[in-house]
A and B are shown apart, each in its own frame.
Chain A
């Protein structure tokens, strides 16, 4: 298994942000992770990438126990992620962001791959621009993906990289993601609100609500599940 989560629970004080979540991905799988705001999706990413420590549960990545593994070691093991709110590395250019990722996750600066990623994400013309101050939203999101790709991941976790883009931008980005996946053959775990997008990208989806996994299966199956529909309409109203 690429990623194997067993009963992952993250509590913040009394709040169960993620409650007893179990699912697995095989290498190269594309899995959608959906659910209303506050459902615990980002927290689950944080637990996998090491930024928060699960209160309970087991997590394995390519057979290795994740729970005791430090953040930087997870990146080196092949876990790449983006942030919902883009977090470029400050004071660095776009290219330098990718250089740091490449150097520290893989042990050497792979300039060829960096150039290829910049090209793929259409960031070539901004390669030497300051990452924190001179990028439009689409470009910031592309840089999030670029940093993660530069670590040479086997699993890429995308946290709402398409949110906030207009339809044309969304379509172009989806196209790019498909290309990325094909080129690098990696597994994708995608948080996304837009049902159409998810349906196009992901053959399989898991749904979280109040931290619990409430449904799992094909998009057709999941988005017709009454509990999922209720959670979404309830979530919107709240």
Chain B
């Protein structure tokens, strides 16, 4: 199958088949929405990791900032929900500017610095009571709207919204990757000097990737806020947003565009449907074990494994 066929099949499945088959089952749709929420952060994380070469432990910061920006714009500023969600992306991107001094750090130091930023944002949200409502949080955040007879505030409507965010994020990841920016970023990993002497400003490129990644994550956070209509600092900035996204991206394969989505669906659904009933406490340990096994035996992740199998099969057919 060539790429455009694959994309068409994927879009038909996700926009038509899934809603038709499962649309009336609000429990399953709810689970898929939660998985897609993780998938959105996972795509953003993978974009930063693969293109920017940066590992972030702090994406919860952008998720939380996005959630608060959109909630406050709609609650206090009277903004309509969708424009507020876009502004949430912008807000998260602006927040990422605050973390940019950390871009000069390499590898684990960057990862840790950005984790500290997530913690700082959480504390800010707790302490700025007059604005954010402090630890008590924000209630009655407006639900997703009704547009042209489509009720995005329903479970199924929410599914379409988060699906569209994830699809757009994947498209952005794909387009950036094959642009000149993507090439330069790829080259920078192993040939930084060679890349810089032909005019590439590596810090600026990395900063762009951080902003794009933060923008996507902020939108996802905003979606979540309008989907569950409730927000508190410990929830919005919870480490689990980062952790689940990282597990998903790496498990699915963060160097592929589809890997983070596939990883999130498998990881989240298997966790909720299989492990949680058996191990109500500490079921996420199983995820850690699975992830460890994947890194040991197939560091490219699930999607690269499937593609390799598929290629081998095609090759043997051709032979």
Q: Could you say which of B190, B198, B202 contacts A90, with CB atoms under 8 Å apart?
A: B190
- Given known A87-B191, A90-B190, A90-B191, contact A104–B199 (CB-CB < 8 A): yes
What is the interface of chain A mostly: helix, strand, loop, or mixed? helix
Set of chain B residues within 8 Å of A49, measured between Cβ atoms: 197
Within 131-170 of A, Cβ neighbours of B (below 8 Å) are at 132, 147-148, 150-151
A103: chain B residues within 8 A (beta carbon): 180, 184
The answer on a CB contact under 8 Å between A147 and B180 is no
Chain B contact residues: helix, strand, loop or mixed: helix
Chain A residues 16-63 with CB under 8 Å of chain B are 49-51
A83 within 8 A of B: yes
Within 8 A of A (CB), among B195-223: 195-202
CA distance A234 to B260 in the complex (A): 61
B73 to chain A: which residues have CB within 8 Å?
none
Q: Is there contact, CB below 8 Å, between B187 and A147?
A: no
CB distance from B194 to the nearest CB of A (A): 4
A210-235 Cβ-contact flags toward B at 8 Å (1 or 0): 00000000000000000000000000
* Cα–Cα distance between A132 and B150 once the two chains are bound (Å): 53
Number of B residues with CB within 8 Å of any CB on chain A? 18
Are the C-beta atoms of A91 and B190 separated by less than 8 Å?
yes
B180 and A87: CB pair below 8 A?
no
A6: Cβ under 8 A from any B Cβ = no
Kindly provide the distance from the CB of B132 to the nearest chain A CB, expressed in whole angstroms.
40
Q: B127 at the A/B interface (Cβ < 8 Å)?
A: no
State the CA gap A89–B202 with chains docked (Å).
14
Q: Flag if B197 contacts A100 (CB, 8 Å).
A: no
B183 within 8 A of A: yes
A72, B186: Cβ atoms closer than 8 Å = no
Question: Do B183 and A96 touch (CB < 8 A)?
Answer: yes
Partner of B199, one of A105, A109, A132: A105
User: B184's closest neighbor in chain A, by CB?
Assistant: A100
B193 interfacial contact with A, CB 8 Å: yes
Contact B196 A72 (CB under 8 A): yes
Q: A100 contacts B193, CB within 8 Å? A: no
Q: Specify which chain B residues have a CB less than 8 angstroms from the CB of A92 in the assembled complex.
A: 183, 186-187
Answer yes or no: A185 CB below 8 A from chain B CBs.
Answer: no
Contact A81 B183 (CB under 8 A): no
Cα of A43 to Cα of B201 in the assembled complex, Å: 22
Interface contact A87-B201, CB-CB below 8 Å: no
A87 contacts B183, CB within 8 Å?
no
In the complex, what distance in Å separates the CA atom of A71 from the CA atom of B199? 7
Closest chain A CB from B223 CB (angstroms): 34
Please tell me if the beta carbons of A76 and B195 are within 8 angstroms of each other in the complex: no
Contact A87 B199 (CB under 8 A): no
Whether the Cβ atoms of B187 and A89 lie closer than 8 Å is: yes
B residues in contact with A104, CB < 8 Å? 180, 184, 198-201
A74 to B193 Cα, complex, angstroms: 13
Q: In the complex the two chains form, what is the Cα distance from A11 to B141 in whole Å?
A: 62
User: Which chain B residues border A203 with CB–CB below 8 Å?
Assistant: none
Q: Which residues of B contact A (CB under 8 A)?
A: 180, 183-184, 186-187, 189-191, 193-202
What are 15 A-B pairs at a CB distance below 8 A? A51-B196, A71-B197, A72-B201, A81-B197, A83-B194, A87-B194, A89-B183, A89-B187, A89-B191, A89-B194, A90-B191, A91-B190, A96-B183, A104-B198, A147-B194
Considering the complex of A and B, which 7 residue pairs feature the smallest CB-CB distances, nearest first?
Answer: A105-B199, A89-B187, A90-B190, A101-B198, A75-B199, A104-B199, A87-B194
Give 11 new A-B contacts, CB below 8 A, not counting A91-B187, A101-B198, A101-B199: A51-B196, A70-B201, A72-B199, A87-B193, A89-B194, A90-B187, A99-B180, A99-B183, A103-B184, A104-B180, A105-B199
